[in-house]
Amino acid sequence: MTEQVNYIAHVKQDSKGSWSEPHLLHEHLEKVAELSARFAEKCQSEGWGFAAGLWHDLGKYRSGFQMYIRDASGFERENAHVEQGAHSPRVTHSTAGAVHAINQWPSIPGYILAYLISGHHAGLPDWSGGRGSLEHRLAEATKEYQESLAAGVPEQLLTAAQPAVPDVARSLKSIALWMRILFSSLVDADFLDTESYMSPEKVGKRNQYPQLDELHSLFFEKMSTLQKNAEQTPLNVIRKSIFEACHREAYEAPGIFSLTVPTGGGKTLASLGFALEHAKQHGKSRIVYAIPFTSIIEQNADVFRGFLGDTAVLEHHSSLDIDQRAENAGSRLAAENWDAPLIVTTNVQLFESLFASRTSRCRKLHNLVNSIIILDEAQQVPRDFHAPITQAMQQMSDHFGVTWVLCTATQPELGQQTDAFDRTLHEGLSNISEIIPDPIGLAQNLKRVEIELPQNVDQPTTWESLAWQVANEACALVIVNKRQDAKTVYELLPDDGDTYHLSANMCAEHRSVALKEIRQKLIARRNGDTTPLRVISTQLIEAGVDVDFPVVFRAMAGLDSIAQAAGRCNREGKMPQPGRVVVFQPETLPPPGFLRQAAQTTLELLKSGQLDDPFSPAAMQAFFTKLNYLGNRDAHGICELLHAKTSPDAPLEIQFREAAKKFRLIDDVGIGVVVPFCPEGHEESPVHIWLAALEKDSSQKWAHRKLQRYSVTLPERLAKQLHSAGALYERAGKFVIETSNYHPVWGMQPPGNLLSAAGSVI
């Protein structure tokens, strides 16, 4: 029998091309078991994590795998190179441990581990449905398992005490979430131990963030100074009272909280203050701040860095993520596991990770245990996913120590929903605690605008009429529902350098440049400058973008969107009279689907006389209740897919992969494409320098990050049409828009024959 020391988990070459000492298999299994147990201990599942780690690579003992790793790498060959043997047939190894778990722990406990172990490379499988299903893989795993045992696996690696089943795993409704968190513990442990061998220089770069208690002291010291030096305006007095309410409520027991504060009330910093104090009082591990729009991720992250320092915040988002289908060892090791005290991310990243099956997305889940998660603009949680999202939120709160904060000016109806016969249509969240003592009174005190609703909704306002009204305002913001609408209105206004356009057709850097100029002109106007200022934007400006206009024109939309638009009007409350928010019925309908339903719901409430006080909590409740009835809050059947089932033929049936595939918060995720935006002072766009760097070395992460700000997301259909028309080409593994198809004002501009296709994009 081969000596134990010769069983290899991984091999590598040093910078000089010499082979390093191999990563021994028994050491890898023992270390992964230790790490996985430590991670799973957070949810009282240490024994489960240990066994999963101990058995996850048992299949690597089989002689076929040991031969494969030597052949594929060229290890022990004379003058070998890594490239040699690269086309050797791959030898599977992840199912042997799954079979062993079932043999060791018969029935459901063994199948729990079988899901985790069999999926630790390819992702959590479905029980049934093709060759990748757990059912199929187990049926074909006998040879792999027998060959592994025949190799002489050390006895101490084959046995583990079966732990008790925690309460969360005793429910067929919640066991899937618990298994995903266990899976996270296993794959993160596997990645980290592999990284410690393959790239030991990275190990020392981890865990460099300050601790939450350090951030707590720093934040409250700076807030105290800020509040002392702030001008004692009525608005600042209200903001201070909101902050103090958050500080008081932070002492309450962990659970689910709502923070209902009108736009401009300072809820971003107030919610962070709540989270830092709550973490200190209840020993929470980290804070996750989730935002629905990438357009304001950097804005909020910069605010936090201003208080806490440049190294305190992990900002995790990307419109140019590596395709998960092309995932490899290098990209997996580079993935974030959210081992940081403060993470600023997107709703898409957070919730799609909670429902993911892929290893790279699941890896971070165990670090959500015992955390505080703030959902900024909570009303933006898509209705089609309310049921699975609220179910996961409730389970995370009940079983995994997560405190949630629903932070918004317009609280959505995420609690229980019943029909006229008192039948439950949506279980929703329970026991939500409102942080603000009197939300209705606060809404009245923070009222800074007057709303002008259309008198005759059956008589649309033409774009020419709207442009005439806007041109006669000294300073105005117009918000429309489509990118094409924004372009149409912009072109009807004077071409005098005082009109600006904002839409998602512009890359983030382009929008940032425009917003910087807009803010400078707003400041100049407050200081007496009389130069006109007109901004035409899609609804992206409603996503927390900090601008302050005396007049806002808003195309008819959902009541929540109108309220967000109002938050860009008299935001600081410094006008001698209320700001004006003019809602108009446009010539074109909003895009079909949810946005159109939201606008129609607002119209129905208006016609029935229920919008006398349109931004009151009562009006918002009526709006969301009516809107929710128009759709299915689990439109893709995700709850059923993740509801475990048992039978003689299927001891534990869960469709992890199918659920993950269907859980896409954005219907058409689209394709991220690089655009050649050329900032002022540059002769050509800098994207060509970064693309050239990636052509030389595709692993240069700094170049990927630079390109994120020079990208837009296009529907896949439009991207294919652009590619066929020669307006989109490939370079350095990315799609790039031709220079002639990126306009200096409104951004991505397709060829004339494709304008109608682009016009349907929001």
Same domain, yes or no, for 32 and 144?
A: yes
Give SS3 for 563. helix
Which pLDDT does position 324 carry in this prediction? 39
What are the tokens at 561?
């969107």
Average pLDDT over residues 524-545: 91
Same domain, yes or no, for 287 and 365?
A: yes
DSSP 195-256: HHHH-HHHHTTSS-SPPHHHHHHHHHHHHHHHHHHS---HHHHHHHHHHHHHHHHTTSPSSE
Same domain, yes or no, for 32 and 18?
A: yes
Check: CB of residue 482 under 8 Å from CB of residue 503: no
**pLDDT, tens only, 306-324:** 899 878 888 776 544 444 3
Judge whether residue 180 has pLDDT over 70. yes
Same domain, yes or no, for 537 and 427?
A: no
Same domain, yes or no, for 513 and 564?
A: yes
Which of 384, 416, 443 is the endpoint of a domain?
443
Same domain, yes or no, for 483 and 506?
A: yes
CA distance 59 to 28: 13
More confident residue, 250 or 757: 250
Which pLDDT does position 646 carry in this prediction? 95
Judge whether residue 294 has pLDDT over 90. no
Average pLDDT over residues 314-337: 47
Which pLDDT does position 659 carry in this prediction? 97
Same domain, yes or no, for 218 and 367?
A: yes
Same domain, yes or no, for 188 and 237?
A: no
For residue 313, being part of any structural domain is answered with yes
- Out of 229-238, 315-324, 577-586, give the one with best mean pLDDT: 577-586
Cα dihedral sign, 540-761-563-525: positive
Which pLDDT does position 316 carry in this prediction? 76
For residue 366, being part of any structural domain is answered with yes
Judge whether residue 302 has pLDDT over 90. no
Q: What strand order describes the sheet that includes 499-502?
A: 449-452, 579-584, 551-555, 475-479, 533-537, 499-502
Give CA separation, 374 vs 286, 345, 560, in Å: 11, 10, 19
For residue 626, being part of any structural domain is answered with no
Domain that holds residue 250: 212-318+332-443
Whichever domain contains 11, its CATH number is: 1.10.3210
Cβ neighbour number for residue 702 with a 10 Å cutoff = 9
- Residue 182 CB-half CA count within 13 A: 30
Check: CB of residue 95 under 8 Å from CB of residue 144: yes
Q: CA 678, 679, 684: angle at the middle one, nearest 5?
A: 35
Which pLDDT does position 760 carry in this prediction? 44
Average pLDDT over residues 531-540: 95
- Helix/strand number for the chain, H first, E second: 30, 23
CA distance 671 to 24: 41
**pLDDT, tens only, 108-121:** 999 999 999 999 99
Read off the pLDDT band of 274 (50, 70, 90).
Answer: very high
Give SS3 for 713. strand
Which of 166, 183, 206 is the endpoint of a domain?
206
Residues 6 or more apart in contact with residue 106 via CB below 8 angstroms: none
For residue 605, being part of any structural domain is answered with yes
Residue with tokens 């299915």: 632
Check: CB of residue 57 under 8 Å from CB of residue 28: yes
DSSP 11-76: --B-TTSPBPPPEEHHHHHHHHHHHHHHHHGGGT-HHHHHHHHHHTTGGGGSHHHHHHHHHHHTTT
CA distance 675 to 687: 8
CA distance 106 to 696: 52
For residue 656, being part of any structural domain is answered with no
Cβ neighbour number for residue 310 with a 10 Å cutoff = 8
Give CA separation, 378 vs 165, 292, 642, in Å: 34, 8, 24
- Residue 64 CB-half CA count within 13 A: 17
Same domain, yes or no, for 149 and 196?
A: yes
Judge whether residue 330 has pLDDT over 70. no
Q: Quickly list H helices, 438-583.
A: 439-445, 463-471, 483-492, 508-526, 559-566
CA distance 69 to 89: 11
Check: CB of residue 480 under 8 Å from CB of residue 474: no
For residue 517, being part of any structural domain is answered with yes
Which pLDDT does position 1 carry in this prediction? 37
Of 2-11, 565-574, 705-714, 749-758, minimum mean pLDDT range: 749-758
Same domain, yes or no, for 230 and 341?
A: yes
Judge whether residue 188 has pLDDT over 50. yes
Residue with tokens 């350090």: 214
Identify which of 217, 223, 220 has the alpha carbon closest to the alpha carbon of residue 236. 223
Read off the pLDDT band of 395 (50, 70, 90).
Answer: very high
Same domain, yes or no, for 575 and 704?
A: no
Judge whether residue 761 has pLDDT over 60. no
Which pLDDT does position 730 carry in this prediction? 93
Residues 6 or more apart in contact with residue 317 via CB below 8 angstroms: 294, 297, 345, 346, 349
Judge whether residue 89 has pLDDT over 60. no
For residue 55, being part of any structural domain is answered with yes
Give CA separation, 233 vs 227, 240, 243, 244, 572, in Å: 11, 11, 15, 17, 10
Residues 6 or more apart in contact with residue 375 via CB below 8 angstroms: 290, 347, 381, 404, 405, 406, 407, 408
Same domain, yes or no, for 381 and 516?
A: no
Domain count, the chain: 4
Cβ neighbour number for residue 312 with a 10 Å cutoff = 20
Which of 443, 467, 482 is the endpoint of a domain?
443
For residue 423, being part of any structural domain is answered with yes
Check: CB of residue 573 under 8 Å from CB of residue 419: no
CA distance 337 to 372: 16
Of 36-45, 427-436, 612-621, 642-651, minimum mean pLDDT range: 612-621
Average pLDDT in the chain:
88
What are the tokens at 755?
């304008």
Whichever domain contains 346, its CATH number is: 3.40.50.300
Judge whether residue 545 has pLDDT over 90. no
